[in-house]
């Protein structure tokens, strides 16, 4: 499952709750390996985030209800999707 809608809104919500900085210094390969072992966690998180429809307050509330590991997964997923978007954008 992918995040839908405004990735910037999700990033901003993650940043506002302090979930970005810890991931910047983390081992992304380790987080990615953990994510691949628990796809149901990221799928559930993405579904919860997508249900917010880009509403910043709802995004913040939803993210604050997630455990730190899930927040790492979400932050990495946002980074991955931003990267994939940029790759597609540069091809056209």
Domains in the chain, number: 1
* Average pLDDT rounded to a whole number, residues 9-26: 94
91 has a pLDDT exceeding 60: no
* Terminal CA-CA length for the chain: 24
Number of other residues whose CB lies within 10 A of the CB of residue 10: 27
Any domain includes 62:
yes
Print the domain residue range for 61.
7-91
- pLDDT at residue number 89: 65
List CB contacts of 90: < 8 A, sequence separation 6 or more: none
Residue 12: inside a domain, yes or no?
Answer: yes
7 C-beta neighbours (distance < 10 Å), count = 17
Q: Is 46 part of any domain? A: yes
- The tens digit of pLDDT for each residue in 33-84 reads 999 999 999 999 999 999 999 899 999 999 999 999 999 999 999 988 888 8
Tell me whether residue 75 is in a domain: yes
């Amino acid at each position: 499952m992918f995040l839908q809608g405004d990735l910037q809104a999700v990033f901003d919500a993650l940043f506002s709750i302090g979930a970005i900085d810890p991931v910047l210094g983390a081992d992304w390969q380790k987080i990615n390996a953990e994510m691949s072992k628990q796809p149901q966690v990221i799928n559930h998180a993405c579904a919860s985030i997508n249900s917010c429809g880009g509403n910043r307050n709802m995004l913040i509330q939803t993210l604050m209800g997630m455990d730190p590991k899930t927040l790492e997964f979400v932050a990495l997923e946002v980074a991955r999707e931003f990267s994939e978007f940029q790759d597609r954008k540069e091809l056209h």
